[in-house]
A and B are shown apart, each in its own frame.
Chain A
Amino acid sequence: MNGWSFIRLHAILIYLFMFLPVGVVVLLSFNDSQFGSFPMTGVSLRWFVELWNNDAIVRAFKVSFLLGGLTAMISTTIGVLASLALVRYEFPGKQFMSTLLIAPILVPEVVLAVALLLFLRFLNVPKSFPLLLLGHVIFTMPFVVLVVQARLVGITRNVEEAALSLGASPIQTFFTITLPLLAPAIFAGALFAFTISFDDITGTLFWKPGGVETVPTQIFAMLRNSISPEINALGTVMIVLTVGLPLFGAALARTISSRRGA
């Protein structure tokens, strides 16, 4: 056996190790049996139907979509403005601000979660949905800032200066030139924020008020009772959403830029 085939075998094993469990979940979600495990007794969509009829799960989906959507909106808006300030303007403490914005990625999520919780306790503020949202905004924003900043650095200042010289006011220049050029990055940042929020469990467990469940915390709660095949179906739906959305986004971005002859 030569070196190359050894490496190839190795790679295959690693991929199997990573994706086989996911594949098994997807496969089992179509299993007709009432136990969420092998052997397969037939192919059916009954667990997806169950899922649809399970009020708790539907409610959790609604919460997750709302939370993810709002997180994406707020994170992106603030993140874009922050990136503009960091890339386009000089101000004292800029380096520090920049590091501070990225810090939530570097701090372990549990630490961040506990810190925020203790802080709220200290302020005597009860847990609530807006606070959960705030938590999600804090740890999704660095991704938006990183993506948007990278793109902004690539847009030369001269393009904006040309627009200004032609009579567009700074605001008009922002909306006709900067924003459209930034759009792919903003879009990617928003998708990041959404999927990260949608997937998150650690922070959410700490911050969510009683009685509110997101899809991941719902799955977590269900797992404590039993391993129902419904969970496999739920897992499949989650995979489709969190993998499908970015792929869809990337495809969309490519179509747009190819139309511009990029």
Chain B
Amino acid sequence: MTTPAVELVDIVKRFGAITALQPMSLTLPEGSFVTLLGPSGCGKTTTLRMVAGLLDPSAGEIRIKGKRVNETPIHKRNLGLVFQNYALFPHKTVYDNVAFGLRYRDIERSQIKKLVNEALDLVQLPSLGDRYPKQLSGGQQQRIALARAIVIKPDVLLLDEPLSALDANLREDMRVELKRIQHQLGITTLFVTHDQSEALAMSDTIVVMSAGNVEQVGAPEEVYNTPSSEFVARFLGASNIIESRTLSVDGEHAMVEARDFGNVPVPIERVRNAITGRESKLVIRAEFLTLNKTDKTPADGVLSVNGQVETVDYQGQAVRYFVRVGDRQLQAINMIDGHPFAEGETVSIHVRPRDCALLPGAIT
């Protein structure tokens, strides 16, 4: 087995009396794209800055390429850092910005020029070398910041919300672009974001964090489809969480009795810690609840429950409905097929049991 690019072993960060990061362990395999995802203040930046060497962990060990780096200052760690605010050197040209890191390495002048030009080509801005950062757009500045970080062939690339300052369209372009470059160079990347769609689209592994704790680590499909906690279910995408009780568990299903929906056989690979007779939570993504006319009979095995549309939120290709079922509101996001349902209309909500996931415990 090869040595992982980065390992965090039980690292903790305290600022005086507050603990910003509980013991956290994480492994970044060589060439992987790992994302720290979580709401504001959950400790993402703190974690990234400890890997960078800009903060000292209060406890635990950080290893880069198998070597402990706790005592290594940042300028000897060989890292690429990209910030939300680009942080280009305003008094240097684009060329000198990109060449900066190379000048502190044993590299010949002619070689520097070649490497800088390659990096500028890679970020698709080959002709801007003579400009100053202020003469570039935000998107261009962020590409240059990326070029500056990767030209030194860092052991790990650290990105702290690099796309958050860009407007929506540009952000999506840059997302694709960043992923392409990362893939092409095979560079180990630790990416910080609070944007779930960014995390889902780009990552090999997502680390979902909340209040200094790691909630779940897994591939995008895994955290999306099989959330390990109510927090993860609510944070990623729009979820409906329904009280239920586990009736029985066998090799294929956990049979639960859910409020309003009745008995639901949840496929075992989407079940966490089900214990017969205990309370559990049925998680249904908003996309998997489909609204139908009340006269439409559900297909075989599909569950249905009636409700009344309360709010219609038109989003272009999809509509988000809030539907009243009993004393609670469910959220459904459906693609538009003909006319959307109207507010006040009574509908039949269908869901396939295999689109449900099950979490242990009562709703908090």
- A residues sitting closer than 8 Å to B (CB atoms) are 156, 158-159, 161-170, 172-173, 176-177, 180-181, 260-262
Contacts and interface: CB of A to CB of B under 8 A. Distances in A.
Contacts of B52: 161, 165
A177 B75 CA distance: 14
Nearest to A162: B87
Contacts of B105: 167
A177 B152 CA distance: 18
Given A156-B85, A181-B90, A165 B80 contact: yes
A169 B83 contact: no
Interface of B: 52, 54, 73-81, 83, 85, 87-91, 100-101, 104-105, 131-132, 134-135, 145, 148-149, 152, 158
Contacts of B89: 159, 162-163, 177
B134 A164 contact: no
24 contacts: A156-B87, A161-B74, A161-B83, A161-B87, A162-B81, A162-B87, A162-B89, A163-B100, A164-B74, A165-B52, A165-B74, A165-B77, A165-B80, A165-B149, A166-B75, A166-B101, A166-B149, A167-B75, A167-B76, A167-B152, A170-B75, A181-B90, A261-B134, A262-B90
Contact of B135 (A164, A169, A261): A261
A177 to B, nearest CB: 6
A169 B73 CA distance: 9
Contacts of A176: 100
Closest 3 CB pairs of A and B: A166-B101, A167-B104, A158-B87
B74 A172 contact: no
Contacts of A260: 90-91, 132, 134
Contacts of A181: 90-91
Nearest to A165: B81
B75 A165 contact: yes
A161 B134 contact: no
Contacts of A170: 75
Given A172-B104, A262-B134, A166 B152 contact: yes
B17 to A, nearest CB: 16
B303 to A, nearest CB: 52
A161 B54 contact: yes
A32 to B, nearest CB: 52
Contacts of B158: 165
Which of B76, B89, B101, B131 lies at the interface centre, i.e. has the most chain A CB atoms within 10 A of its CB? B89
Contacts of B85: 156, 158
Nearest to B99: A166
A261 B131 contact: yes
Nearest to B84: A158
A117 B241 CA distance: 78
Which of A167, A168, A177, A181 lies at the interface centre, i.e. has the most chain B CB atoms within 10 A of its CB? A167
Contacts of A158: 83, 85, 87
